Amino acid sequence: MTTAEIEAGQIDIREPTAARIIRFLGRTPVYLLLTFLGLLWLVPTIGLFFTSLLEPAVIGTTGWWEIFSAPSLGTLDNYREIFDNEAITSALVTTIWVSIGSTILPIALAALAAYAFAWLEFPGRDWLFLVVVALLVVPIQMALIPIFSLYNDLGLFDTILGLILFHTAFGLPFAIFLLRNFFIGIPRDLLEAARIDGASELRIFVRLILPLGLPAIASLAIFQFLWVWNDLLVALTFARDTQPITVAIFSQLRQFSGNIEIIAPAAFVSLAIPLVVFFAFQRYFVEGLLAGSVK
Amino acid sequence: MSESVSTAEAPLRGLPPGDAEPGIWQRYGVVAVFLGPALLLLGVWVVYPTIRTIIRSFFDRSGDEFVGLDNYQTLFSDDTLLTAIKNNVLWLLIVPALVTAIGLVFAVLLERVRFSVAFKVAVFMPMAISLFAAGVIWRLMYEKDPDQGTVNAAVAVVKDAVTPSGVLSAAQPSTDALQGGPKGGLVLERPLEKGAVAQLGLTGIRSSDVPADAEQAVVPEALAGGITGVVWRDFKPGGGIAGEVEAEELGLPGVTVELRDENGRSVLETQTEADGTFAFEEVEAGSYRAAIGPDTFSEPYAGISWLGASLITPAIMLSYIWVWAGFAMVVIAAGLAAIPRDLLEAARTDGATELQVFRRVTIPLLAPVLTVVFITMLIYVLKVFDIVISVAPGSVQDDANVIALAMWRTSFGGVNDFGLGSAIAVFLFLLVIPILAINVRRFRREV
């Protein structure tokens, strides 16, 4: 038992039961309020989920809450339908490839660059680092038009590679910034020792820096993955037939009420993966967020 | 570059420290290998387009003719673009402040309870969902029909509790004996005195609109001291005779019947039974008219048009706040946890009330964290795009417009004016710079 626990125990013993009940009752309104707010925050997502389960015949006219009084309205047909739908499945595959590529490539390149900025000596290093970080300000909108023209010339328009390269470039400044600040915290002695042992820089990078930098790399990977998976703007601009899932759903929005039996399940599938990632790596997610918000 | 790649593995290998310095190509070769790919991508995908877009913004739509500041002039004179700027200003003024305030309230509430994980997860979850998917979710929430849109369904429940909607919105009188319309109610022309039996027949009621508890209509007995009557659906399969209560014709329950005096004022009111009958048991002497009250005919609640031109921007803002409140909450809660307990305890010991402690101690200590949240939100709100394009139906996108959406629509959404599109992008860029500059300065001061 720690001192704190013992102290807490003592306080509990000293406090009369009546006082504890009063204190609990005093908190009850807060509990009720939080429960209400929490449910309020869940309703929209739950609503989408149950809507996606409604029979195609009633989906455009019935509220999702009806499913509780008439469970027979529920069906998995909509999901079966979208997984038979070539346009939706190939869009999902595209999203998976783009997300994986756009997570690995920028982190690999950023880690290399961050190592150079942290531990290699060359003239103008800090200035160059400042310039790279300054590129954080450039909104994606500044690049859309020239890259659109460039992609048309290079044949990268409507390709997975084109999307990956764009996401990679715009993911780099923040990734380099974050990793460089992490790498610079690695004790100098470790590096010096490795260098004295005759390890090449590349070897030091692979054997020493990457393993030590894993926590930062993990947070970064989760963020980058979610960012790219959830992207609409870039995909909408550079993809036409090879479209990620967001664009595939977007093109159904034009006739919203008529297409709910596609939109609702597809939207739910598209947000289920980020949710799984989020729940699986919640700790990294929150830590990364706290680090990122100070950028 | 090519030489440097070949020597990438070479530097320092086998060289004892302090021995001969490696050649310049070896040293910078390593740097080039580490830095080259990232710089190449940044150069081609970020730096070059930025310069190109700035130049492009001074050219016309075809890109051949230099037009000076014409595109920027259009930006501040075109109606759609002005709406976009105006809306974005509203977003900047309202949303970051609200998100920060809500995040603060949530974080403070969380401090006071023990089992807060479920709440944290519920509020934070939308952060993992894309803004686009959030847009789809809220598009569904905002559907106008209260039978489908969750928001309007909730409003309808509240509204029905206050003013119930009528049972028979489409009913018509079955004979000329009944006069009037849905506004003032239907009035039986024949004056009634004590002992009278009134027959109020209605048609034009769909079978699905007939209340489920309706029974065979009955003409009630006359009451010596009162007035009785029946309201029924004067229709049966095959037609039937108008004005007569027949077998298979149903009474209409729950209808409000008024007894009006000679001046047309309502003096008594009652509701019909399952068989459609009603009775005013004791009536003063005099001549009366029976009428079916207007609220019987009031239309069912049609729902608020959240996705209409006038409410679309607040509606989208609300869904955006739903997404970001969790972010604000988590960051502020981390800030709260870092405040030393003794400081708060000291203030309390000195006799400060909870509110005073909150305003005079907690808030000032939290100020840096609140600023981080606020400024982060400013930057995101300035570039808001996905959620606007997904919540707002095409027909109201002009009304919901924001700068980032205007940029995309002008460049790729049909207008395809790269000159004007570039000018909008540059405008957005110029707006982002000062906010980020403040952020960087603040950050450096803290470090």
- Kindly provide the ipTM of the predicted complex, given to two decimals: 0.84
Residue A38 CB neighbour total at 10 angstroms: 18
pTM of the model: 0.77
User: What is the C-alpha radius of gyration for chain A, rounded to an integer number of angstroms?
Assistant: 26
A248 and A174 fall within a common domain: yes
Residue type, B21: E
Residues of A in contact with B138 (CB under 8 A): 44
A98 and A165 fall within a common domain: yes
Q: What is the pLDDT of residue B299?
A: 64
Residues 6+ apart with CB under 8 A from B84: B401, B402, B403, B405, B406
Query: pLDDT-derived band of residue A234, with 50, 70 and 90 as boundaries?
Result: very high
User: What is the CATH number for A113?
Assistant: 1.10.3720.10
Q: What is the pLDDT of residue B226?
A: 87
Name which of A128, A139, A249 is nearest B428 (Cβ-Cβ): A139
Strands (E) in B10-130, as ranges, are none
- Chain B residue with the nearest C-alpha to that of A272: B129
Range of the domain at A19: 3-77
Query: pLDDT-derived band of residue A54, with 50, 70 and 90 as boundaries?
Result: confident
Flag whether pLDDT at B25 surpasses 70.
no
To test the contact with chain B by mutation, choose from A32, A36, A141, A290 the residue with the greatest count of B C-beta atoms within 10 A, namely: A141
A111 and A257 fall within a common domain: yes
The domain boundary, picked from A77, A102, A130, lies at A77
Six-digit token pair at B251? 């009474």
Number of structural domains found in chain A: 2
Q: What is the pLDDT of residues A256-281, one digit of tens each?
A: 777 888 888 898 998 888 888 888 88
A155 and A209 fall within a common domain: yes
A72 and A91 fall within a common domain: no
Residue B423 CB neighbour total at 10 angstroms: 28
Q: Taking the domain B70-154+306-446, which CATH number applies?
A: 1.10.3720.10
- For Cα atoms A215, A221, A224, give the angle at the middle one, nearest 5 degrees: 140
Lowest mean pLDDT among A15-24, A84-93, A138-147: A15-24
A70 and A99 fall within a common domain: no
CB contact under 8 A, B148 and A34: no
- For Cα atoms B382, B384, B389, give the angle at the middle one, nearest 5 degrees: 150
A29 and A135 fall within a common domain: no
Strands (E) in chain A, as ranges, are none
Determine the Cα–Cα distance for residues B176 and B188; give it in Å rounded to an integer. 9
In this structure, the strands spanning B197-203 and B227-233 are parallel
Tell me which H or E stretch contains B24: helix B24-42
What SS3 state is found at A154? helix
| Full strand arrangement of the beta sheet holding B227-233 | B172-173, B197-203, B227-233, B277-280
Query: pLDDT-derived band of residue B96, with 50, 70 and 90 as boundaries?
Result: very high
Determine the Cα–Cα distance for residues B233 and B228; give it in Å rounded to an integer. 17
The domain boundary, picked from A17, A45, A77, lies at A77
Check: CB of residue B103 under 8 Å from CB of residue B374: no
Lowest mean pLDDT among A10-19, A74-83, A262-271, B410-419: A10-19
Residue A197, classified by CB atoms within 10 Å of its CB into exposed (0-12), middle (13-18) or buried (19+), is: exposed
What SS3 state is found at B216? strand
Which of A42-51, A106-115, A194-203 tops mean pLDDT?
A106-115
Tell me which H or E stretch contains B228: strand B227-233
- Chain B residue with the nearest C-alpha to that of A24: B113
The domain boundary, picked from A56, A77, A98, lies at A77
A60 and A143 fall within a common domain: no
Residues of A in contact with B121 (CB under 8 A): 282
Helices A160-183 + A141-154 axis angle, to 10: 130
A288 and A161 fall within a common domain: yes
A66 and A89 fall within a common domain: no
CB contact under 8 A, B30 and A109: no
* Residue ranges of chain B that CATH labels 1.10.3720.10: 70-154+306-446
Six-digit token pair at B144? 């106008």
A209 and A109 fall within a common domain: yes
Determine the Cα–Cα distance for residues B366 and B173; give it in Å rounded to an integer. 68
Residues 6+ apart with CB under 8 A from B128: A226, A271, A274, A275, A277, A278, A285
